[in-house]
Amino acid sequence: MRPGRLGESLGIELPIVQGPFGGGLSSVELAVAVSEGGGLGSYGAHLLAPEEITDLVARLKAATDRPFAVNLWVPLEDGTAPRPSEAELAAHVARLQPYYDELGVTAPTAADVAARPDFDAQLDALIAAAPPVISLVMGLPAPRLVEETRRLGIALIGTATTVDEAVALERSGVDAIVASGTDAGGHRGAFLRPVRESLVGTFSLVPQVADAVTVPVVAAGGIADGRGIAAALALGADAVQIGTGFLVSRESGASAVHKRALGTPEARTTVLTRLFSGRTARGIPNRFVRDMAAHEDHVPPYPVQNALMQPIRRAAGAQGRPEYVNLWAGQAAALAQESPAAEAYLAGLVEEADRLLKR
């Protein structure tokens, strides 16, 4: 399999990008394994403090001399939404109190809920650390980021969920665009229109984006094996981004209960939900999702709901309780099989895709 335009521009051997995971699911080990295997390893840093981002990039640079990406979330309007009043917060806590009690954890305080990352400080730290690649989701890069990445020789990748977003990203100055279809696991990154108006499947989105922009296009969503890679390349993608397939790998930071849920018949069903973070994300439905379905439109926006759910998610993962864990997964999650990321999975992807493309 040839590196393609993206590989040639980034200096990677394979047109395969590891999806960046936030919320503790990323790991240095996974990013390094993928990069050392010839792809582009990634790390989701949107919850890290500036000093943690500085340390992260230093650790990645010490572990590999190959390109890797660090990902940030561009703040959406809901990130600056008014904080809930004392009465509103009490109502949100009361809704979740049975789960706090069952798992033996304490509900977050108003101060916990008010805490949120300082994006400008994160960006300053990331630019100063100068990783080979910076990738973004949920918005356009600020002009200063485009200017600084060009000055420093850092590649800049944006993420689009619609053709209009892809066009806007190219105009903003990014070097490549991830076309993220609704098949993808985790959070939806729509930023020009509401999520409900930005639900385009991967294999409908990719050829339209490839026709609309001139920069390299990376297909993402529902790709977990060589068949998906071959299909995406045939539709005009220059590379693919794989998330769930790497999430189940031994090197990822996902909990054991999360990994066990992937690659199972239950993983054939996924839903879009706001219940775990306040933002729409795709995952495998469990008891919590089903019990709380009636409250989808009533939970507070990110980052308030995310903070309220953090003790529940952490305790459930530690206690081996999959019924309360956010089981993020794409629509090809049933194809995912646990293995070392580079030694087995990455090599298997290349072998299968090569065979199909030659045929």
Domains located in the chain, CATH noted? 4-358 (3.20.20.70)
Residue segments in the chain with a per-residue pLDDT below the cut of 70: 77-82
Q: Which residues pair with 134 in a beta bridge?
A: 70, 156
pLDDT, tens digit, for every residue of 109-149? Answer: 988 888 878 999 999 999 999 999 999 999 999 999 999 99
Answer yes or no: are the C-beta atoms of 300 and 92 closer than 8 Å: yes
Residue 30, CA distances (Å) to 39, 44, 128, 237 in order: 11, 12, 23, 24
Sequence letter at residue 75: P
Q: Residue 82's pLDDT is what?
A: 65
pLDDT attached to residue 41: 97
| CA 279 – CA 273 distance, rounded (Å) | 8
Three-state SS at 321: coil
| CA–CA distance, 305 with 281 (Å, rounded to integer) | 13
User: Which pair of tokens denotes residue 216?
Assistant: 């390299």
**Residue 116: its pLDDT value, please?**
79
pTM here? 0.96
pLDDT in tens, 280-321: 999 999 999 999 999 999 999 999 999 999 999 999 999 999
